[in-house]
Chains A and B, each alone.
Chain A
Amino acid sequence: MTQAVRRAPYPLILVVLAALLLLAATAGVAAGSVGLPFGEVWSILLHRLRLPLGEPTWPAVRETIVMDVRLPRVLLCAVVGAGLSVCGMALQALVRNPLADPMLLGVSSGGTVGAVAVMVLNLSVFGALTLPLAAFAGALLALFLVYGLARAGGRMTTIRLVLAGVATAEVLSAVASFLIVTSNDPHKADSALRWMLGGLAGTTWDLLWIPAAAVLLGTAVLLGVSRPLNLLLAGEEAAAALGLDVHRFRGAMFVLVALMIGAIVAVSGSIGFVGLMLPHMVRLLVGADHRRALPAAALMGAAFLIAADLAARSLIAPEEIPIGILTAVTGGPFFLWLMRRKAAR
């Protein structure tokens, strides 16, 4: 007799994840060259929200540190982490393969090429939106390219998908490097290179709103289509028989995911493996039904990336490790474990 899956009640899991997120966010704001007590972090935040809690008892400089330096960075981490995690989960359903991830599929690299081109060539056709739009265009192009390559001449298999993704990512990274190396402005080249490694330092409130809006709206849309996403897990033919116009739906969702990844990559560079690891942990916790899994993925992704960023800036303080290096160090072994587990089945 096959064993039933035992899981904790869903609302409890959501509450625990939300508590973890708040804890990570508080720690993220409190920690740094000037350490702040957790209580003071919240006093400052609540004071700024104009709640009548008495007079400020802290030096004004601390308020500046919290409000202008650390809070935007922590919020951006939350947005990027939630976005990558949700996009990873959606991509895994769309290509019906648990090894899909924005970076593995070359989507992040596509976004990177778009963004680097804008930086190095000094384009600014659409003002502040130029960088995210270019990243979006690159991400979308990469996604359709990989999907087309993986499907060419028959059925899409895991091997074909991963190979197509790796090859595309490789070529696109080379293009980005080429753009940087051949740029005749060393200053611009340097900033593009640092950006490519992935990092969330120097975040300001101005940087926050485009990715925040993209991730919030995108996640809302994905929640709205969580039933069709479930159908894709049953296979293409079954999804068609259950009333889904598979090709149109998949095309529309590719555009949506590319938009989200583009907006994320434009502010954070490429941060790998978040979109691969977290959806798996979430599915183990709450199951594969996207109506339950997507909200949990967003919470867990946000908490994870805040914690990873905290580690990135405190492990060898005052130096910072690029966060992409940290996520790769944890994500690489996870990916190998997953491949072995899948092969063993």
Chain B
Amino acid sequence: MTPGELRAESVSVVVNGRALVSEVSLGAAPGEVVALVGPNGAGKSTLLRTFYRAMRPTSGRVLLDGHDIWRMPAKRLARTLAAVLQEAPGSFELTVHDVVAMARTPYKKPFEGDDDSDRRIVLGALTELDVADLAEAPFDRLSGGEKQRVLIARALAQQPGTMILDEPTNHLDLRHQLDALRLVRRLGVTAVVALHDLNLAAAFCARICVMDGGRLVADGPPAEVLTEDLLAEVYRVKAEIRPHPRTGIPQVSVPGD
């Protein structure tokens, strides 16, 4: 699980003549956790899709440790990079264990069974995310928060050096939000995390990238990026930003009218 170096080089995605992502270049150094924020429709999810091979960039390249991820076998990429997505299985009788055990697929040849180390890894991931006692429960009947933790456990069981997380804190209560982000930091993996909550982003990520209208409009430490001017321009809200009294991390608050 050596943390990888992820770099997007002027990535653009054009669908039906509309540019969803335009010329975005950003990098994450080994072990760095980068937050990706921006309003709905800013192109965050689309950009992330080009990182885990769900959508090919119209132009530009995505490099992991210097290798173009679109020029390597999909299986090889899945052994080094995992994604936590919002899409969830439905209508099939999959158990939580089935869902997490899928993570071992990129390590397997046809007809190859699971061995003890696979079982240990899957159980470890289930335990880490506090869902081990749900292992035999049907995935479809879980609550939103439980599902989200199971999907994070699956990414963990892939044993990646780099993780892409698209709104991983969705549906999670406050404690599990913090647990999930702490876990990502503790793993020491390189991570790009799309987040809606700017305060969480500022608290857990040393770097914040802001997207708006498919473009990268800011990239830097929270204190430099999160300014009242930027929030006014990108989110069209009048917010107040004050440093946290103890940590000095910028905090965003929106006064109700």
Binding site for B on A (CB under 8 A): 2-5, 92-93, 97-98, 223-225, 227-228, 230-231, 233-238, 240-245, 283-284, 287-289, 342, 345
Contact = CB atoms under 8 A, between A and B. Distances in A.
A151 to B, nearest CB: 15
B205 interface: no
B74 A244 contact: yes
A242 B53 contact: no
A5 B103 contact: no
Contacts of A283: 92-93
A241 B54 contact: yes
Contacts of A241: 52-54, 78, 81-83, 85, 164
Interface centre among A92, A234, A236, A243 (most CB of B within 10 A): A243
Contact of A233 (B81, B89, B110): B89
Given A241-B53, A283-B93, A234 B136 contact: no
Contacts of B98: 230, 287-289
A328 B38 CA distance: 53
Contacts of B85: 235, 237-238, 241
A237 B87 contact: yes
Given A4-B136, A241-B54, A223 B111 contact: yes
B94 interface: yes
A8 to B, nearest CB: 14
Contacts of B138: 2, 5
B117 interface: no
Interface string B135-166: 11110111000100000000000100000100
Contact of A238 (B79, B87, B106, B135): B87
Interface residues of B, number: 44
A329 B78 CA distance: 46
A27 B57 CA distance: 60
B232 interface: no
Interface in B84-118: 85, 87-89, 91-95, 98-99, 101-103, 105-106, 108, 110-111
Interface centre among B81, B94, B142 (most CB of A within 10 A): B94
Interface centre among B93, B94, B99, B141 (most CB of A within 10 A): B93
Given A3-B137, A4-B137, A287 B111 contact: no
Contacts of A287: 93-95, 98
A240 B94 CA distance: 19
A230 B104 CA distance: 11
A99 to B, nearest CB: 9
Contacts of A289: 94, 98, 101
Contact of A227 (B88, B105, B136, B142): B105
B49 interface: yes
A62 to B, nearest CB: 42
A224 B109 CA distance: 9
A141 to B, nearest CB: 27
A225 B110 contact: yes
A177 B102 CA distance: 46
B49 A237 contact: yes
Contact of B88 (A225, A235, A243): A235
A241 B87 CA distance: 12
Nearest to B113: A291
B77 interface: yes
Contacts of A227: 102, 105, 108, 110
B234 interface: no
Given A241-B83, A243-B106, 20 more contacts: A4-B135, A4-B137, A5-B95, A93-B92, A227-B102, A228-B105, A235-B88, A236-B87, A237-B49, A237-B54, A238-B83, A238-B85, A240-B52, A241-B54, A241-B78, A242-B105, A242-B158, A243-B73, A287-B93, A287-B94
B252 to A, nearest CB: 30
A342 B140 CA distance: 12
A240 B105 contact: no
A113 B86 CA distance: 42
